[in-house]
Amino acid sequence: MLGHDVIHLRGLEFYAYHGALPEEQILGQKFLIDIDLFSDLSQAGSSDRVEDTIHYGEVYHVIKTCVIGERHQLVERLAEDIAQRVLGQFSCTSVRVEVHKPQAPIPGIFGDVSVEIWRTAGDRV
């Protein structure tokens, strides 16, 4: 059953300055990233060699660079940037990226706001 292998990175937490409101660009806030990397992991499962898989430490570094290295008004744009960079740098066939903005400026009580996107290697923007 090839094609169903996945590497999950969950709850990557960063402090950054994304948002459409001026205060968000000045004060910043916490962002959480979840990502799923879909790839055939059978070679790594057989060889037990890091060279045969997607190095999740390197993926983390790419995500960190996207989140804290640039500023976007929309978390949709941030999610797209993460997806495109990961697809461009690693041998995954598709990714699911979820960007959580738990302190979004909403006048009410809520647990979380998030955006989720799915992209494949052929979906280059």
Residues serving a catalytic function are: 101
> Residue 41 carries which side chain, given as an amino acid letter?
L
Number of Cβ within a 10 Å radius of residue 22: 8
Strand partners, 119: 95
CA angle 28, 90, 34 (to 5 degrees): 40
